[in-house]
Structure 1
């Protein structure tokens, strides 16, 4: 998992819950990296799992809610850091179609070792869109937050339905319906 995912998680936790909580989580999580991350480094996914569980334990906020909130936070970071990914796109459905076709292709050029989730998309009609999230990391709740933030960014009121396709949540179908 790329380091930017870790560094931004730490930033979000420190800003919302305080430095002390983040330090306590890192100290008690027995992380192979020691909790020292660089944005361009690559780290084991299990470290993120430990950090999120540690935050959930300390805040009593369910893991799915924390991951969704983090996804929304991360969308803002991506917009600020990679504005060219949003250039000439004026609606969420067009944006979603570009994730695997353009954005992830460009990310792989910069970071060939990046392990990215796969998004298969299908535009049902002008108001209905399906996305199949596929990842061995099983972080569909983070994807849910990213999707919701994109919809908010494009100011398109919509509902998002999340349905497990696989029992282990490595494949999840999102159905987005514009209101």
Structure 2
């Protein structure tokens, strides 16, 4: 997992709780350091340990925490990738172009990273079917990011996000429908 994502998780925990909660979370996760370099790729086990321990500490299921974290990530991701976003895009168009533009940039600019693969099919003018594929099995994070995009584009009331398969599989199908 890219260090930038772990650092955003750190900020998420600090904003939701506090810095001491982050330090305790890192310690209970068995990690030796609470600071992560933004440009280093860390073993996926780090993020799994942190999310798993956070679920245990809070009593909130890991999938639900991933969704909330995904929503939290969006403003920062949009800042980083704004040069790839067209002004006329909304949630559906953003999702359609994520694989090519944003994930493509990540693969080019940050060797060693492995963002999930997204297959997006336009079902109609107001509906997409998104297939998330990743050995990380973090489909809940993708669901959260989609919901975060709807909030970012001020379309929360208009966008319905429905996982059609279990969110903890390597392949997760998500329906995104504009009402």
TM-score, length basis structure 1? 0.92
Q: What residue number does 1:71 align with?
A: 70
Gapped runs of 5+ residues in structure 1? none
Gapped runs of 5+ residues in structure 2? none
Contact 1:89–1:95 (CA under 8 A) maintained in structure 2: no
Q: Partners in 2 of 1:39 and 1:29 — Cα distance? A: 20
Q: Partners in 2 of 1:22 and 1:141 — Cα distance? A: 21
Q: Partners in 2 of 1:92 and 1:79 — Cα distance? A: 12
Cα deviation digits, residues 30-56 of structure 1 (max 9, x gap): 12x533311111101111111111111
- 1:165 Cα deviation from its structure 2 partner: 6.9
TM-score, length basis structure 2? 0.92
> What is the total number of aligned residue pairs between the two structures?
177
Q: Please give the residue correspondences for 1:48-59 in structure 2 after superposition, counting only pairs within 5 Å.
A: 48-59=47-58
Q: Secondary structure at the match of 2:131?
A: strand
4+ long deviations beyond 4 Å = none
Q: Secondary structure at the match of 1:116?
A: coil
Cα deviation digits, residues 55-84 of structure 1 (max 9, x gap): 111111111111001001111111223321
Q: Partners in 1 of 2:80 and 2:114 — Cα distance? A: 19
Q: Partners in 1 of 2:15 and 2:106 — Cα distance? A: 27
